[in-house]
Amino acid sequence: MFAERLKQARKIKRYSQAEISQLLGVTQQAVGKWETGRSTPDPQTIARLAEILGTTADVLLGLQQDAENSPVVGRNAFSRYTQCEIPVIGTVRAGYGALAFEEDYGKEYASVKDPSSYFYLVVKGDSMEPRISDGDLALVHRQNTLDNGDLGVLVYGLDGEGTLKKYIQRGNAVVLQPFNPNYEELVIKGEELDHLYIAGKVVETKAKW
């Protein structure tokens, strides 16, 4: 139902009905009516709503499944923040108990709240095909913990290089899972976990630049 999908999309983006009404130039009552199903906006307004909420009109109308619920968030996820310059790096490595960020590729813009907490990583290899390709940019939030199922940048081993994988907790082990079925998952357990470093969580990806 359009009303429910609109309400859900709005809550995912953490907009209030008032904010949506201001962005569209309509009354808050109108937005409220759309979300209760008492009225439906015209196609042009639905298109604008989709743009604001980082989705598509087809998704709001239920004609297409929303890919936004996958671990990789769409590129409009942070559209309510201003564009900031984020450093683009080529490699994340672990050494001496700290993470090193190497290969400076300049800057790329992203709409985030706290730019110093983010970096872009150039994806290498095809282990995350078909969703993420070699050369794509991954926007990463610096953090040293991940939730089960998150897509993260992880470094394994003292001289390991950062790898972009799905992070899965399985019992006392951690599984680093690629999307590409041609690659095997890596199971890390016991003392091996001491050599696993979490560089951050992938919040958005961009196709090759």
117 is a catalytic site residue: no
What are the distances in angstroms from CA 96 to CA 3, 40, 157, 204?
53, 59, 11, 29
In eight-state DSSP terms, residue 25 is T
Catalytic residue check, 165: yes
89 within 8 A of 122, measured Cβ to Cβ:
yes
Give the span between the Cα atoms of 114 and 91, in whole angstroms. 22
- Please tell me the distance from the alpha carbon of residue 30 to that of residue 46, in angstroms, as a whole number: 13
> Choosing from 13, 127, 166, 201, which is the catalytic residue?
127
Q: Rg of the Cα trace of the chain?
A: 20
Q: State the catalytic residue, choosing from 13, 165, 166, 201.
A: 165
Handedness of CA 139, 144, 149, 153 (dihedral sign): positive
Buried b (16+ CB within 10 A) or exposed e, 63-101: eeebebeebbbbebbbeeeeebebbbbeebbbeeeebeb
Residue whose token pair is 């095809």: 126
- Residues tagged active-site: 127, 165
